[in-house]
Structures are given as structure tokens and as C-alpha cells.
Structure 1
Amino acid sequence: MKIILILLFISFSVHAQQEDALVYLVDKENVEEFINQPNTILSQRSIDRKGRHSTPIDSRDVPVNEEFITILKNKEHVQVLAKSKWMNSVYIRGDLTEIEKLKDLYFVASIEFLNKTLNQPNLEKDELPKNSVVYNVRDYNYGSALNQTQMISLESLHDRGLNGDGMHIAIMDSGFPNITENPAYSSLISEGRLLGTYDFVDRSRNVQGFGTHGSQTLSVMAGLKENEFIGTAPQASYYLFRTEFTPSENPVEEAWWVEALERADSLGIDVVNTSLGYRDFDESKYNYGYEDLDGNTTISARGANIGFEKGMLIVTSAGNDGQATFNTVATPADSPGVLSIGAVDSLGEYAAFSSMGPTVDGRIKPDVMAQGKSTAILDTNGNLDFVNGTSFSSPIIAGAAACLWEGLPSLKNSQIMDLIRESGSQYLNPSNEMGYGIPNFESTYQKGLLLKLNNDFFQDRFGIAENPVASEVVFSIPHGILHADIQFFDVLGKKILQTKITNSANRVNVSQFDSGIYIALITSGRISNSFKIIKR
């Protein structure tokens, strides 16, 4: 495959100026039919997870039109490398003049070049999202992983039997060699908890890839070596996705990353760990500057924001440029929908290589810290090793977050993220280097229990999934309620709309409303709730 790729690049080099671009497509067809039959586009686990957290299924869950992709693939001097259903776009590479011609195709809405100097100054972008149980308790001997586990008080969750059991985690990385033969993953394999693999670069199930980075990050969560090492989520189930072509650095890797994130969502993944970051590329015309790190500009940040809205908890490394002149976190660590993790040493002190914040729009990044200097891992043969990098502090937190969420399943991803931040050692005094500090998962869990009780109290009430709203209001309906009456009033008390909702049809179109404040009254039998709705 490596030889084939080299030949492809050679064959493309004989043409004119080569560029990478995102081709945005016109609106998808049959969206309503797909949404009404979500099992045709999503796994049942994904549908259940979205329902549990009141995450709407919308047009972004509908696949890209494959007919359009086929037409693009048949164009001369244009290569299709990736696609994104969330952004309704295709990542291509080809001659500049040939890419420009694509604008004339009936299904092409717009083109965004990755070389930003080729874009029109006012290029429009899609609007992006802003923002009593019996446990299986095990007696763990953490060995060399003890310090990195105790630093965040994770052993207290493990002592309660919260070890990731039932949680699905996806790891997106550069490659995972020797997984099935590595004794560190014998129980993962034998217990059927390695749920799937996919290589988005080579389009195969073989995720060998290049290097050992992916295997190392996996070991931090899933590794198990008796009396020597225990990962942070040793009983979770895992998907392994390769999204990196290590011999080169090109923004197409971000497009593969978003594809993998979309796959994770469709599979119902709970937590994603990605110890990857993008900022500098082989061709400087694609490089990101500080002004691009606003959490909404880069391909991966845009994808991460949608992934967050879809209900997943996305954890990523901050980067290792703390001692560089440009020492800001890489993307997608700048995304507000991502929990970004910096590195400390074994004493909990800031590791000088750890990238820092803030983002260009002034947000705190990294979010929290974990041990990333002399982090204990298991190598590809299952032997103990110690490594440096935020690549390894990230999976420490990702595994811990999975254990926390296992114990607080009714909470949303945003609530889990907030709880982790709020438990940070520097929450009241965050810094550019340390963010909110080192989290304490014992206190996080205790506070989460109180939040869960509050959530459970309101389970017999109606809710709304999002507010302010743009075109529709999505209502959550208590268990056992089949239908309800909805009335909308303006601020003067005048009724302007009356309709009904059901469990399967819980959306109300308000696109005809003027911008402003409205009151929604929802009633079913003796249950009645009212909400202030802000229409954008």
C-alpha cells in the first residue's frame, strides 16, 4: 500500500498547482425519511445514547450522497480522499484549475481551500455548535501505574467497581501494531471487548499503521499486566481507528479524523481519546496560525464541536510545544467541545513541554492536567516502559472519564466535562499552563451523585433539548408519556401556536416565529411544564 500511495503522489505531481480543498455539497435528499427511520443510518446503541441524553437526530446524521462522490471520483486530476456527513462535504486533492471547475457542478454548494490564501475573504461557513447498583469490585495492584492513578484519585472509583464496564471507547491514532498478540490485551481480546478496528487511510480493517503510538495510548486505558500495571479503564470496550499517515503531515488527516468521529457516533461510542494535534504541515501554506485557534475554524475543531453536540465525550492531548515560540495548544484541543489535557510530572508540577493557552478568543486551555512526564505504559510486547508527552496524559483522563460516566449514566457529556473541570486543583485560579489543574475523580463522583439526584427528580417532567433555538424546538418526554399538547405564547400572552407532540415526533417547527422570547406550555394529563424559549 505504501508503494501504491507513492505512485499516486508521483502521478499527481506532473500536473499543475496541487491543492487540497473541502467541497461542500447541496442539501441532502430524503432527510426526513432517514430521520424517521434512524436505524437505517445509526446503530441502536447510538440511537439509545442520543435518546438517553436528549441529543436530537438531524440532517447531519444522514450520509453524504454517494452519487455526488462518484461523479467527483470520475473527474480527471481530482482525487477524493475523505468525506464528512456532519459537514456534508468531501475532502479532495487535485489541480487548482480542475478544482475551480467543480464550482459549476449542480451539487457543489461551495469550495473551501485548505490553502487559506485561495479563499474569498468572506467565505461563508456553516453555523457551528457553540457550545442501587451492584458493581463488580476488583482488588487492583497498579504497580508502576499507581502514581498516575492516585494523582487524580481514580482508585476510589475503581474501588467502587467503576472500571469502565459497559462503556465504549474509541481511540483515534496513528497505528496499533501487535494488538492481538500482546499479552497486555489478552483479557480485552478473550472477553470480546475489542469491538472493531478500521483504517481510514488505507480503507481496511488492518490498523497496523506506522509506529507504536496508538498501542501505547491504548495501554494507558486498557493495558493489564498482573501486579505491574493497570490501565485507567481496564474493563471498557474499545474501537481502534487509524487516522494518521505518519510519513507526512497534511490536513487530509483532519478529514480522516472527522470521518472516524462520525463512525464513532454512529456506533454509539461514549468516550473518544485522540492523542493527536494539528498545526504545522509539510506545506506551510496549510499551516494554522494563532488566529485559527478559535475552536471553530479548523476541520478537526469543527468536527469535534459537532461530535460534542451529538453526545460524545471527546478527550484530546493539548500538544507538546510548551517550550516553542508558538506554544499554544494545537487543534482540535482548541475546540470548546473537547476536553483538552496538558501534562504534569510525577509530583504534579507543570511539565515544560506541555502546550498552553489561552485560545485566540480567550478561553482556558488546556482544560485539566494529568501525568504526562514519565508516564507508565506497556509497549507492543507487553513490557513496562516510561514515556513523555501529553499523548499519554490524555488517555489517563479519557479512561477515568469513562469510569465516572459509568457511575453517572444519566448525566450528559457536558455535565461530565464540567464536573471534571470543577474538581481541578486550580479551578478558582486557572492558568495558561495548567488550565483548571489536576482533577480529583473522587470529589467529582460525589458531586456528580448530587447532580444525578437532581436530574432524577426532574425525570417526571418535560424538557427542551436546546435553547436558544433557530428553527425548531426539540422536547424531551418523560417515560410513559405517549403524547402531549403544546401551546406557544408571545410576551404579551397571545397564543400563536397550538400543536401536539409524541415520543416519535417531538419536534415543533418555529422557523416562522420572529426573533424574540416566547413561552411554551406543555401539558399531558396532570403533568404540565412551561419554558421560556429564545428564538434566534
Structure 2
Amino acid sequence: MKLINIFFFFLLLLAGCKSSKEIHNPTLTISKNNLLPASLKNWYQKDYINDTIPGISLEKWYQLNREKPKSNVIIVAVIDTQIDINHEDLQGQLWINHKEIPNNGIDDDQNGYIDDINGWNFIGTKSGGYVVWNRYEYVRIIQKWGPLFKDKKESQIDSKDIYKYREYHRALKKYEEKGPSYKKWLKSLNYRIELYPIITDTLKYFFPQEDYTYKMLDSLYKKHKVNDKEFWQRRDGVDKDLGALIGCMMLNLELDQKDLEDIQNHQTQLDSTVNKNLKIDYNERLLIGDNPDILEKGYGNNNVSNNKAGHRSLQYHCTKMAGIIGANRENNIGIKGILQNVKIMPLSISSPGDVNDKDVAMAIRYAVDNGAKVINMSFGKEFSLRREWVTEAFKYAEEHNVLLVHCAGNDGVDIDKEPFYPNDTNFENFEEVCSNFINVGAVTNKLSNTFVSDFSNYGKQNVDLFAPGDQIYTTTANGGYTFDSGTSMSVPMVSGTAALMWSYYPNLTAAQIKQIIMDSGTAYDIEVILPGTKDKKVPFSELSKSGKVLNVYNAMQLAKKISKNKR
């Protein structure tokens, strides 16, 4: 048994018309290994009928379309981390606020934000930096609502506060589960760092070139007959025999921590998790200098792309989203985004930990007020301290005909039963609070029982449709390109599609764009393994409201038809 199976840890970091043609009982299975590298890099843009790859049929639409877009540019706000503003494949694709004079310290356009040339950093600090660590939302809830509800029974609580009372206790339960686990993990890391010089020196006796693999160590480990229980009993350094040292290095390799620097980096992250993310009296807002209890403009700073050495990792996520949506299609380098005539507006709210509802609400309002038509939101959390602020922002976007696209999450759970925020329902009766919000799950390139990504959340009420989210090749920080997986990767495909639709059919409403995307998706009549289980199979159609996968070609055809009918 691999040692990781006994290592209890959690990941630190870090989303009206007849349907389109349905594919019934498909027999072709597509796997990563069956795709050539060139196809793997853009598999999600392929078409099932033409290419035998279950993508979003983007290339098919471009191959057959000869019309020019009616709108010169669509602004897509990406509410996320910071962005690599200098990436070669995003040049010309980023939003510029031409009403603002750069770096003059004046709010020239009087929108409440000084020198917001490319967007805004809502977790920017007064000193020009940014908040590196956010608390988890359940920690904020304990800090905020603890004085009201601690040591009280539900019968003592006013009816108007019952929801908060129950959320407080749900948060407290989460905290009591997570806190000890993270501390145990940190203790293990500290132990492994202490042992590392002894381990490497000892293993040189068996592997002078230090060229050992996990399999080779496993063989040596079994030879010395040190079982898991004995190893963990020794982890505090009481008995550092050979078997325990071998087992410790096996764990390092299992966790892809190949050298001491890797382990120390994880130690630094985990130490911050324990002492910041999980610390009830830690207040990250002190660095920002805002009032966390009111909605206000102007806090934060205009630094959406911190390029200091050691800080660029916080650009990775937003840069990936931006590339999928709008990487330059005409420069013959890198990748091709969903559409060319787009401007990406980066709005930073995210760092390790949970986003703050105030930042979510204010970023949405900023995007709406500054011309965005689509807002990409590849983030989420299990709790929401100020969900009413976010709901009000959703409605504000709806009033201004702006579409919100959000990730379903990566926990492999039914979010009809386990809340995932932000969302557009109240979870009591699943009544939608707005008509402009789309929640997106992730699928793979394997049209088989593993079609739905094993990490993807699902829900017949709270997930609207699926889009590719497994092994997606896109832009990343430091001017690079990479593969990544997650429902986060599915969101920009829907956001880009919505922007493409609006660029051709600007008379459509956000509600119509949402409905067209859902109605026009591809319905696959197959059974899939339910995420979070090993082998339980369910119809794919039961995992989302539409039961479908994004299809750009079909969406554009249906948008054209509905747009003509509106004239």
C-alpha cells in the first residue's frame, strides 16, 4: 500500500428551443493516450462528429462561419487572482481604461478608483502590495458570529437569526475537523525536514548516484519489513531506523516533493495555513485598510500584475482563464482563445484561503460599471458570510444585462445537498434569485463512464451544464503555457462562448444567452461514474439542469435564429 493512503492531509490551494443533436449510445472511447500531443493541446475545441473528440465544436464553427462580428469588442471581466499582464499571447487582448490618465494619482474618470488602467486589485494593500493569505470563510464566521451564538441552544435564538446560528455551528464543525488535521500535517512536514539530511546520506549507501525511484525504495522498504503503523509511531524521531528513513523518502516522492526545497516550500505554505488561514484573530483586512462591514469603492490598489520575484505564482490562475477566453488568435504563437475581439478585464480578489464576499460584490459592480458584458468567476467556497451582498451584486448585473459564469467546484459532491458559494439559489427550494448566472461542471476527453471529471461537483438544480475541464492547455504566468484541470478551466469556455455570441448578436439579453447555451449543448446518452464514488453509475443527463455539454457551433446557430426573431 502506498504511504499516501495513510497520510491524512488536505490540499492547500487552490471553480425554450429543442436541444441540439443528441448522441445516443456512443461506443467510441477517447483517452488522453489516444490523442497526439497536437490534438491534446486543443482537444476541447474539437467536434465529436467531425473529429471523434467530444469538444465544444469551436473549430467547426470557425471553419464554417464567414460572417463578420457586429460588435468591435466584448469586455470580459475575470474576477480571480492577479494576471501576467506581459504574457506574449495576451498582448492586445487586455482591457485598457482610456478614460484614466496613467499614474497621475487622480481618479480621472471619477469611477471611484484611482489609476485603474487595466482593472483593480481588491486585495491590494495601502503600501502597494497585496494580501497574500486570506482566512477561510468558516473562520471568519466563527469570529463574526461566535460572540452571538457561542454556548447557546437553538431554542434561545430569535427566528430571524436561525440561519446564522446554524451556519455558525456548521462552520465550527468544519474548523474542528480541519484545524487538527492541518496541524498534524505541519508536524509531519517538520519531522521530514529534520530527517532529510539523515535520509539522503543513508540512502547513498544503497544508491550512490541517488537515482532511486519510488518502486526501488518500496522494494527496499519491504525487505526491512517496516509496516505503516511502526513507521508512524517512529515519526517523532524516537526510532530512526533504516525502514523509517526509507518510508519517509517514499512519502516525499509520493507527494512529488523531490528535494528539500520542495518540502520546505510546502512547510512555508502550511505554516501560513495554520497561523493565518485558520487563525480566528488574524485580520487580513488591516493591510487593506477598508471597513469590512460596509460596501465601498476605492479600497485596494491598481496593481493587477505583481511581477516581483517569488510573487508570480499568484498570477497563474487568472492568466490561465484569460488565455482560454481570449489568447490572440492571429499572432501564430501559443494558443488560440475562444474569440479575438475581446478585452480581458482582470479584477483580483483571490489569494490562498477564501475570497471575501465584499470583494466579490464590489468586483462584480466594478465590472458592470466599466462595461463588461460577461463576468468569469472561477472561484468558490463552502460558506458565505455576506451572501446577501453577493446576491445584490448578481441582481445589479442582471439589471445591466451582464452574464455571470461560475465554476461548480472541485470536491466531487452534489452541490444541491452541500452548498457551494457564490450561487443563484437559496438551497431551501432552489428558487433562482436571478436569470443571468451559469454554473459549470467539468468533463474529460474520454467519452466513456469516466466522461465526467472525477473531481467535478454536480447537481440537477445547481449545475447548469458541463464543459471540458480536464487537461486543458492554456497560458500561464511567467510567459508560459501549461496543462491544467478543474471546473475553473470549464468556466472560461462558457464565458468566451457568451462573448462570441454577443459579438455577433448584440441584441440578445443575458437571460437569452444563458438559455441558448443550455438548450444548444450536446446531450450524450451515456452512463458515467458519479464523482466522489468508485463505480456508482448514473445517467450523465442527471448531473446538471440541462444534462448537456457546451457546444459553440450549436449555440451560434441558435443565437442567430433567436436574434433574427427579435427584429
Provide the TM-score with structure 2 as the length reference: 0.47
Structure with bigger gyration radius: 2
User: When you count strand as a share of all residues, which structure comes out higher?
Assistant: 1
User: When you count helix as a share of all residues, which structure comes out higher?
Assistant: 2
